[in-house]
Each structure stands twice: as C-alpha cells, then as structure tokens.
Amino acid sequence: MEFDTKVALVVRDDLASWQKLNVTAFLATGMAAAAPEAIGKPYEDANGRQYAALLGQPMMIYGGDASGLLRAFQQGQQRELTIAVYVKAMFSTGNDDDNRAAFHAESVDQPELVGIALRGPRKMVDKAVKGLSLHP
C-alpha cells in the first residue's frame, strides 16, 4: 500500500545505542500526537484481549551526522512539514516541561539536534531527507 504522506525519523548516527532508541521512541510519539488521523485501530488477540493502536503507516528511520540532520530540519521547515524535535540538552532533563525549556533555549538557526521526525506529503519528505541513508 502506498501512502500520500510519509513519516521520516532522522537520528544522529554518533549517539549511543540507548540514546538512538530513546530519541526514536520520543519522535515517534510526537508524530502520533501530531497526526491522530494516522492512528490505526486497536489490536486484539485471539483471546479478545485489547492492545494499543499503532500508527497506521510505516516510519522510515534515517541516520545522519549533525550537518545532515540540520539540513533535513531546515528543509522540513521550508516545506512546512510537521516536525518533531529532540536536542542534546534533553538528555539531561527528566520531564516534559524541562524538555520544552531546553528546546526553547536552543539557537533558532542552529539547534543542537540529535533527532527529528518529519511528516507530510511523501515527495516533500523525500526531498527533505535527500542524501541521508536509512539507519543501518
């Protein structure tokens, strides 16, 4: 099935494994919150137990260095895509309020990004992540 929209997560490739997984999880929740219409139906097993619904389309995960991440972020802004962000300072916070304050304190033009998620028309997202490779 081909979707009109695309979700791309871009994570710095020089992070520790736990950081990559943490950033990916947070960014995925950001995309789900920003696009409730993209959430599928809850899952049910053969015994009738209910499980949480998931995003109803694939999320492509890319890796990149700091400059590649910043470029994709800027391309996403120019194309007015939905963007979720995670900056390095957020690793040292312990709650959502402090995360927002850490991001607010970042440079508007050069935030110290460690991960972003982009959602929008497929071709526009593809252009924003052009040059980045899928995460190994």
User: Which tens digit of pLDDT belongs to each residue from 19-67?
Assistant: 999 999 999 999 999 999 899 999 999 999 999 999 999 999 999 999 9
The boundaries of the domain holding residue 84 are 5-39+53-134
- Does residue 35 belong to any structural domain of this protein? yes
Strand order in the sheet with 5-12: 82-87, 113-121, 5-12, 59-64, 133-134
CA distance 95 to 100: 9
- Does residue 86 belong to any structural domain of this protein? yes
pLDDT at 131 over 90: yes
- Does residue 46 belong to any structural domain of this protein? no
Nearest CA to 86 out of 30, 16, 8, 38 is that of 30
Which CATH number belongs to the domain containing residue 108 in this structure? 3.40.1490.10
- Does residue 130 belong to any structural domain of this protein? yes
pTM surpassing 0.85? yes
Q: What is the pLDDT of residue 136?
A: 80
- Does residue 97 belong to any structural domain of this protein? yes
Q: What are phi and psi of 5, to 5 degrees?
A: -110, 165
pLDDT at 2 over 80: no
